[in-house]
């Protein structure tokens, strides 16, 4: 039978990562972020209250208006960057360091669209996306090995202590956000090479298996994220190596140990969700033995509508 204390910890993780859907969240007070009548996000009240010429209000919904006469999506993006705002005196965190909304660093552009398959309506700096509750997409790779006896072990990364977000916590073997105009498989191969020195010839064998989606709110805004998940069986003799400095160390751990760690504070939360999904798909968590099985599955696939 399942360990009830472990199961409750996992439920707490899933509630935390989906708190935007729970009673008491800011969702009833958020404004819909619309471009050309397509909803692309949810704007928290503290952001929506700072309306500027960028917005027009129609049925209580902020609508991006083309104030420059440029109808291309790059034009909208530049307007948003010039007129973007943040409550005075507050700083918000990003993986690139603190920034105000008046000076968002252009390190990584994210496409803004209603659905992933839609043409982008604009781009937005990654650091600003939570202010407008737009969906962010990423790629996460479960790197694992199978022994001659059939025992599965998983490679986990320990994040660098200098990372701006979740320093020192456990992570997937490789992961990264999807920048504007960059494909999923290209991102996978790039992140594998940069973070874990996994050669392209090996990384390209990764299999797309699912998506993990969740929405949570923090003081910096609404985080709506969808991760494209890949499984990559690594050769038994292969060992990931530290690459671009975002990781300090790699560990190869038996699945039972990985499962145990999921219920601790040692895991980056969304990476814990990706690993939880792996355990379910590979039958390391089964419905006959886990009373919360259905809740686990539902908590891994909550989309923002």
Beta-carbon neighbour count of residue 39 at 10 Å?
Answer: 15
Mean pLDDT over the full length of the chain: 84
Please report the beta strands in the chain, taking only residues with DSSP state E, as ranges in sequence order.
31-35, 38-43, 55-58, 61-64, 109-112, 122-125, 135-146, 152-159, 170-172, 174-177, 207-218, 221-233, 247-254
pLDDT tens per residue, range 98-126: 334 444 444 578 899 999 999 988 888 88
pLDDT tens digit string along 38-54? Answer: 888 888 887 776 654 45
What CATH number is given to the structural domain containing 223? 3.90.79.10
**106-120, 166-180, 246-260: range with lowest mean pLDDT:** 106-120
Please provide the size of the chain in residues.
Answer: 305
With cut-offs at 50, 70 and 90, classify the pLDDT of residue 93. Answer: very low
Q: For residue 273, give the nearest of 238, 253, 302, 237 by alpha carbon.
A: 302
Does 189 lie in the same domain as 121?
no
pLDDT at residue 94 above 70? Answer: no
- Same domain as 206, residue 142: yes
Q: What Rg, from alpha-carbon coordinates, does the chain have?
A: 20
Residue 51's domain comprises 27-133
The whole-number pLDDT of residue 199 equals 97
Where is mean pLDDT largest: 26-30, 68-72, 101-105, 175-179?
175-179
Residue that is last in its domain, among 87, 105, 133: 133
User: Within a domain: residue 304?
Assistant: no
- Tell whether 69 and 175 lie within a shared domain: no
Q: Is the pLDDT of residue 64 over 60?
A: no
Angle between helices 4-17 and 269-281 (to 10 degrees): 120
What is the CATH classification number for the domain harbouring 82?
3.30.750.160
CA angle 231, 277, 211 (to 5 degrees): 70
Question: Is 150 found in the same domain as 281?
Answer: yes
**Which of 134, 136, 156 has the alpha carbon at shortest distance from 144?**
156
160 lies in a domain? yes
Whether residues 197 and 289 share a domain: the answer is yes
So what's the pLDDT on residue 210? 98
281's enclosing H/E stretch is: helix 269-281
Considering the domain architecture, whether residues 263 and 155 belong to the same structural domain is answered as: yes
Domain count, the chain: 2
167 and 291 inside one domain: yes
DSSP symbols for 66-93? -SSS--SHHHHHHHHHHH----TT--B-
208 and 159 inside one domain: yes
Single out the residue in 82, 113, 133 at which a domain terminates: 133
Spatial separation of the C-alpha atoms in residues 266 and 261, rounded to whole Å = 7
Domain shared by 239 and 206, yes or no: yes
Task: State which of 133, 168, 197 marks the end of a domain.
Answer: 133
| % of the chain residues with pLDDT over 90 | 61
**E strand map for 161-206:** 170-172, 174-177
- The CB density around residue 278, as the number of other CB atoms within 10 Å, is 24
Residues 187 and 255 grouped into a single domain: yes
Nearby residues of 252 by Cβ (< 8 Å), 6 or more positions away: 145, 153, 154, 155, 239
Do the domain assignments include residue 197?
yes
The verdict on pTM exceeding 0.75 is yes
Same domain for 289 and 154, yes or no, is yes
Residues 90 and 236 in one domain: no
Q: Confirm whether 67 is domain-assigned.
A: yes
């Amino acid at each position: 039978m399942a360990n009830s204390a472990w199961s409750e910890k996992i439920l707490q993780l899933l509630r935390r990562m989906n708190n935007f859907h729970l009673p008491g969240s800011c969702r009833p007070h958020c404004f819909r972020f619309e471009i050309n009548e397509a909803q692309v996000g949810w704007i928290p009240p503290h952001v929506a209250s700072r309306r500027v010429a960028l917005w027009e209000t129609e049925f209580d919904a902020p609508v991006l208006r083309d104030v420059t006469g440029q109808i291309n999506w790059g034009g909208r993006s530049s307007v948003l960057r010039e007129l973007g705002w943040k409550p005075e005196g507050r700083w918000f965190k990003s993986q690139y360091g603190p920034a105000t909304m008046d000076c968002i660093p252009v390190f990584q552009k994210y496409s803004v669209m209603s659905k992933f398959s839609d043409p982008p309506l604009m781009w937005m700096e990654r650091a600003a996306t939570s202010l407008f509750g737009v969906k962010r997409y990423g790629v996460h790779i479960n790197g694992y090995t199978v022994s001659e006896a059939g025992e599965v072990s998983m490679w986990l990364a320990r994040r660098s202590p200098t990372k701006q977000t979740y320093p020192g916590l456990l992570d997937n073997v490789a992961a990264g956000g999807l920048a504007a105009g960059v494909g999923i498989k290209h991102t996978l191969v790039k992140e594998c090479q940069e973070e874990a020195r996994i050669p392209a010839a090996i990384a390209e064998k990764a299999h797309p298996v699912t998506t993990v989606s969740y929405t949570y709110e923090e003081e910096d805004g609404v985080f709506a994220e969808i991760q494209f998940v890949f499984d990559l069986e690594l050769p038994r003799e292969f060992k990931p190596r530290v690459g671009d400095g975002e990781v300090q160390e790699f560990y190869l751990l038996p699945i039972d140990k990985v499962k145990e760690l999921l219920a601790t504070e040692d895991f980056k939360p969304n990476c814990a969700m990706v690993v939880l999904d792996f355990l379910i798909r590979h039958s390391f968590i089964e419905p006959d033995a886990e009373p919360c099985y259905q809740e686990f599955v539902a908590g891994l696939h909550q989309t923002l509508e």
